[in-house]
């Protein structure tokens, strides 16, 4: 079997107001593989790099997944970076999908088989539209939404610092105001949902070390499952400083693009949960190496997944085959792009199951995807009240 073509489909979904980036690998035997790339907002850059790599890939044996990964990562002078890593990730995921189809087995079988029957997931419960002045912008609405999800069977929920407050919706982020809103929101969620429901809080890298320490300490008596990205992950020394001052479990890493960038976080035990993004950090080939490395430090996986159904499928097969797995982020339901992506996954409450189809269990309709091409989408940006830039 030989690769005959590699194509990118950037699909705009108006209901979500965003683009999704899919990469499809074609072969001379008619089998195809499907992958997805991260780095939202830079889809055209990824598409251009896929076009650059296509001549290199044509004629190659798609079963040589590791060799192809090494060729795309190391076979040139300049390497690394988020666009590069996301492009390699999409191609890599497509190759695993293709290999599973060729052998007639689900991808999780190629990764060692199931270590669990399903992946437990968490949903996002913050409400960014509308306000609730009775209990601090958006808190009552968020609690009601969370209660509805728990009634469906979800056991994990997530919200972000300041999200749902009036100022955040206006693009303004001030740490003091966001911190108090976040504490009030957690207290309301814990009171409404009870002690058994797990609550994750995403600091979204917006907090300085001083505010991260204050906020984490305030939340600790209410038992967060984890605090996510309290600081920017590229500065590991600051996470070491934070680790000395708080007891809350730390989850981080969604922006990291290669195994080399994980080194200090893993080796210095600076996190409790690994937030790898398969569609940024080199795909399944890289993810399984990082997961094995984490296992030697008892760090559990909690993959980042704000993307489409192909990302969700790749995460699911990774989750099912990974011994130390905690919980899977699930922003969109598996059927988020009906008519364009078909999937065998099923969601029961907050539990995600594979349909055990060969490969990843996802298929893309080329013509339907081309009918919804890329459209420019606005960047979400935050600023302080003085109009200086805030981390998003």
Active site residues: 159, 204
Residue 345 forms beta bridges with which residues?
Answer: none
| Best CA proximity match to 273, nearest among 379, 128, 122, 129 | 122
Overall size of the chain counted in residues: 392
Distance CA 358, CA 107 (A): 7
| Best CA proximity match to 176, nearest among 206, 151, 133, 140 | 206
| Best CA proximity match to 202, nearest among 38, 331, 294 | 331
| Best CA proximity match to 43, nearest among 67, 61, 18 | 18
Six token digits for residue 229: 């990205």
Question: Any idea of the CA torsion for 252, 280, 89, 268, to the nearest 10 degrees?
Answer: -30
| Best CA proximity match to 118, nearest among 146, 153, 89 | 153
Residue 36 forms beta bridges with which residues?
Answer: 22
Six token digits for residue 81: 């970076």
| Best CA proximity match to 319, nearest among 42, 27, 114, 44 | 114
Distance CA 155, CA 184 (A): 21
Six token digits for residue 302: 């909690």
Residue 106 forms beta bridges with which residues?
Answer: 359
């Amino acid at each position: 079997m030989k690769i005959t073509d590699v194509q990118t489909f950037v699909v705009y979904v108006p209901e979500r107001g965003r683009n999704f980036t899919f990469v499809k690998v074609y072969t001379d035997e008619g089998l195809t593989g499907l992958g997805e790339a991260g780095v939202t907002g830079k889809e055209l850059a990824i598409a251009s790099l896929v076009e650059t790599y296509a001549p290199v890939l044509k004629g190659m044996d798609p079963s040589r997944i590791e060799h192809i990964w090494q060729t795309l990562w190391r076979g040139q002078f300049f390497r690394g970076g988020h666009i590069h890593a996301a492009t390699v990730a999409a191609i890599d995921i497509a190759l695993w999908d293709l290999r599973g189809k060729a052998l007639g087995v689900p991808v999780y079988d190629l990764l060692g088989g199931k270590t669990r029957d399903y992946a437990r997931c968490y949903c996002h419960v913050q409400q960014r539209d509308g306000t609730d002045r009775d209990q601090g912008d958006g808190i009552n609405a968020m609690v009601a939404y969370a209660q509805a999800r728990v009634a469906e069977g979800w056991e994990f929920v997530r919200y972000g610092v300041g999200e749902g407050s009036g100022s955040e919706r206006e693009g303004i982020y001030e740490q003091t105001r966001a911190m108090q809103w976040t504490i009030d929101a957690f207290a309301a969620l814990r009171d409404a949902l009870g002690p058994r429901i797990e609550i994750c809080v995403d600091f979204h890298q917006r907090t300085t070390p001083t505010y991260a320490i204050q906020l984490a300490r305030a939340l600790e008596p209410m038992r967060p499952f984890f605090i996510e990205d309290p600081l920017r992950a590229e500065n590991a020394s600051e996470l070491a400083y934070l680790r000395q001052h708080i007891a809350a479990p730390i989850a981080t890493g969604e922006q990291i693009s290669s195994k080399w960038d994980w080194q200090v976080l893993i080796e210095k035990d600076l996190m409790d949960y690994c937030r790898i993004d398969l569609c940024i950090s080199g795909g399944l080939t890289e993810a399984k190496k990082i997961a094995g490395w984490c296992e030697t430090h008892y760090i559990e996986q909690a993959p980042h997944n704000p993307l489409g159904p192909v990302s969700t499928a790749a995460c699911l097969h990774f989750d099912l085959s990974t011994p130390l797995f905690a919980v899977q982020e699930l922003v969109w339901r598996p059927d988020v792009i009906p008519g364009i992506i078909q999937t065998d996954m099923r969601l029961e409450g907050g539990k995600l199951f594979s349909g055990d189809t060969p490969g990843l269990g996802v298929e893309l309709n080329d013509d339907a995807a081309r009918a919804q091409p890329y459209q420019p989408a606005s960047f979400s940006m935050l600023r302080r009240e003085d109009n200086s830039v805030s981390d998003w």
